[in-house]
Structure 1
Amino acid sequence: MWKHYKFDPNSVNFSCDTDKKLNEFDTLLHSEWDRAVTQDLFAFPINYHANRRILDDGDLHYIIEYNRDRQEKRRIAYPYEHVNAPFDNNKFNFNKIKDKEILISLDNDEQTDKHLIIINNAPIHPYHVLLVPDRQLEQTQILTIDCIIFGFEFVAVSAHPYILAGFNSLCAYASINHLHLHGMYFPDRLFLQTIKCSPFHTNSNCYLLDLFHAEAFAFEVQHIDEFNRIAQYVYKITNYLASNNIAHNMAIVKGDSFSSSNNVLRIFVWFRQSVIKAQRFDRCNFACLELAGFMTLHYEEVYNTLTQMELFEHLNEIALSLEEQKRIKDHVKNLLDN
């Protein structure tokens, strides 16, 4: 049986301005991940010293890494054509993994099989994990309130300032139709942690990340008592997007408050063009991690030549039309009013 870590509401950490990188939770998770490495559970050898550079020729801070193995040796993604697709037990799902691929469970009680943290066997970066809630329920890749709160807890329980929980819908680079989040420890800060956002809906304290053509709704959590309320707001939006076959991504990070000097959890939900049949492009592909500010590149030439300006041009290309964006934002305002 895998190890259990009890979530303590009194020890959450929202700070992204600290030199402390690991606490008891992080140490346990890292040690279990290292154990999985020694058991040869990954699709390729882990590169702890990948070539990395920061694109800072503009006013942002974007991290790129060279990782050829991730593209060449990962599990082939199923070519989904709709955001909603039924669960198919014949395809790979997390009930097919080995017990030793489960690192720990994380919950505020003694349930050891509800909120699982497992390896990603083709990791983008060392200590890249997957968060799987209630795997026995065979939930499709559509966010639930419980899953969103699981993401909040994963980020808040860690001492690491550059940790993220992220979600990709089908048609937004989710490759497995079994509910899960990505968990990632980043080597440096992400621009998403400090980027300014515009007020969008006052009553729900919702903001809009509108620096790019591909926009995102944004919320913040200032205290653990807000977990459920903010998760319900996020769910209203993601449920609407899923119900209307609109591809979307979500990211949860520690960062600056949009309206005060506090450290908070920041939550972003992008609505974007669908990627049909798992199409991948030679230069830039945007899922939750890439939208947050970290991209791995599988061609060395692209890694060596990519500029921030080009990257942001590709990011703008995934935006929906202005008319469709306006329609979505109008619908979301109505949802948040109720």
Structure 2
Amino acid sequence: MKYEYCKTDFIYETSRSDSSVQSGSVFDSTLQNTWKAALERGVFRYVLNIQHSKILEGKFSFVAQLNTDRALKRRAPEEITSLTQPFDHDRFNFTKIDETEILFELRRKCDTTTNRHCVIINESPLEFGHCLLLPSRLNCLPQIATQHSLQLAIEVMLLSSNPAFRLGFNSLCGYASVNHLHYHGYYLNYSMLLERISVQHLSGPCFILVNYPAKGFVFQLPSDKRPETLARDVFKLTNFLVCNNVAHNIYITRGTHFSSSHTNSKICNTIRVYVWARKSSSEAAYWSLTEEQVVEMLSDVCEGTFGQVTDSVKELFED
């Protein structure tokens, strides 16, 4: 199955008030229907069963979920030793998946290249609709975000009208478990603070997230609303991090424009892209988890690295 799109399909504004997790655009319907069909065919390692969810008490409204099947039944992560570890054809990669795991191929109508982008199931799902976006799957690219793949991910976000849809990327040494270029997509039907939190300008198009335990960098869809402009800016940072051997995570979500004074607005009128420079982190048991523990873990993971690279990132965008 192929899903073709062009820029006239992009949705630049949506509202949280008139959506549920299983609703949205033609893209959302395509993703959700193919994902549920795969679930019914028994393609996944387990039927998604989130035993418990809770919002941790406190000002950050962290969401915690208990999904023991993910821990017990997922494929063993690949051993990662370097941020720039080469692609290894002999290890597991996404050219070795069964065809039943492919939900659909994704293609821009104006794209004359032979790139074959795929959306496949995540066979060990964390949330409803949990899938993997595989840019140029057959090109066997390592898990390093390219400018082209970032643009594709931003375009996918613009194809969805459901503000519950999110995309994420983990670098090698930053929780990536397969060294083959991929982004995670899923629906999380909670209003997240990161959709509306205030940020501070650093330089150029780059802002910083400081009133949050995980300090990081953030970009938004520019005034020209061109995904390629946003992708170029984000790639400038992630490429700097790769060149300096700094692990990182990327989070892409709908949200309010940085200049909005209505921090509680349900209108999502931009795409926010967060980039966290990070180190390895520890974990805590679900039932005893508190906001204080999450704050401590996030601060430990990000604060030191953030401080080490901020001045260099500021200079990066000053021209």
TM normalised by structure 1 equals 0.85
Quickly say closer, same or farther: Cα 1:241–1:197, change in 2 above 3 A. Answer: same
Equivalent-residue separation in structure 1 for 2:9 and 2:34 (angstroms): 24
Quickly say closer, same or farther: Cα 1:84–1:157, change in 2 above 3 A. Answer: same
1:337 aligns with 2:318: yes
Equivalent-residue separation in structure 2 for 1:110 and 1:37 (angstroms): 32
Query: When you count helix as a share of all residues, which structure comes out higher?
Result: 1
**Residue of structure 2 equivalent to 1:94:** 94
Equivalent-residue separation in structure 2 for 1:325 and 1:316 (angstroms): 10
Q: Which runs of 5+ in 2 are unaligned?
A: 262-267
Equivalent-residue separation in structure 1 for 2:189 and 2:299 (angstroms): 25
1:3 aligns with 2:2: yes
Of 207-216 and 244-253, deviating more is: 207-216
**Residue of structure 1 equivalent to 2:275:** 269
User: What code does the residue aligned with 1:19 have?
Assistant: D
**Residue of structure 1 equivalent to 2:264:** none
1:328 aligns with 2:309: yes
1:256 aligns with 2:256: yes
Quickly say closer, same or farther: Cα 1:224–1:90, change in 2 above 3 A. Answer: farther
The Cα of 1:200 is off from its aligned counterpart by 0.9
User: What code does the residue aligned with 1:121 have?
Assistant: E
SS in 2 for 1:230: helix
1:155 aligns with 2:138: no
Of 4-13 and 65-74, deviating more is: 4-13
**Residue of structure 2 equivalent to 1:15:** 14
Equivalent-residue separation in structure 2 for 1:157 and 1:26 (angstroms): 8
Superposed CA deviations along residues 114-172 of structure 1, whole A, max 9, x for unmatched, are 22111000011121000000011111111111111111112111121121111000111
Superposed CA deviations along residues 85-116 of structure 1, whole A, max 9, x for unmatched, are 00000111111112221112233217796221
TM normalised by structure 2 equals 0.90
Superposed CA deviations along residues 306-325 of structure 1, whole A, max 9, x for unmatched, are 1111211111111353xx54
Equivalent-residue separation in structure 2 for 1:17 and 1:67 (angstroms): 26
SS in 2 for 1:235: helix
**Residue of structure 2 equivalent to 1:184:** 186
Quickly say closer, same or farther: Cα 1:8–1:229, change in 2 above 3 A. Answer: closer
The Cα of 1:10 is off from its aligned counterpart by 4.4
Q: Is the 8 A contact 1:222 1:265 kept in 2?
A: no
Of 104-113 and 150-159, deviating more is: 104-113
- Aligned with 1:114 (options 113, 116, 120): 116
**Residue of structure 1 equivalent to 2:65:** 65
User: What code does the residue aligned with 2:83 have?
Assistant: V
Equivalent-residue separation in structure 2 for 1:326 and 1:71 (angstroms): 32
Q: Is the 8 A contact 2:216 2:306 kept in 1?
A: no
**Residue of structure 2 equivalent to 1:53:** 54
Indicate the structure whose relative CO is greater, using CA pairs within 8 Å and at least 6 residues apart: 1
Equivalent-residue separation in structure 2 for 1:68 and 1:319 (angstroms): 26
Aligned runs of 1:1-338 on 2, under 5 Å?
2-20=1-19, 21-47=23-49, 50-55=51-56, 57-109=57-109, 114-201=116-203, 204-212=204-212, 214-222=214-222, 225-260=225-260, 263-274=269-280, 281-283=282-284, 302-319=285-302, 321=304, 325-338=306-319
Quickly say closer, same or farther: Cα 1:269–1:123, change in 2 above 3 A. Answer: same
Q: Is the 8 A contact 2:12 2:269 kept in 1?
A: no
Q: Is the 8 A contact 2:221 2:272 kept in 1?
A: yes
Equivalent-residue separation in structure 1 for 2:202 and 2:10 (angstroms): 31
Equivalent-residue separation in structure 2 for 1:150 and 1:162 (angstroms): 19
Task: Give the aligned CA root-mean-square deviation in angstroms.
Answer: 2.1
Of 104-113 and 237-246, deviating more is: 104-113
Q: Is the 8 A contact 2:219 2:230 kept in 1?
A: yes
Equivalent-residue separation in structure 2 for 1:266 and 1:95 (angstroms): 31
The Cα of 1:304 is off from its aligned counterpart by 2.5
Of 215-224 and 141-150, deviating more is: 215-224
User: What code does the residue aligned with 1:17 have?
Assistant: R
Quickly say closer, same or farther: Cα 1:105–1:13, change in 2 above 3 A. Answer: farther
SS in 2 for 1:319: helix
Equivalent-residue separation in structure 1 for 2:53 and 2:95 (angstroms): 35
Q: Which runs of 5+ in 1 are unaligned?
A: 276-280, 284-301
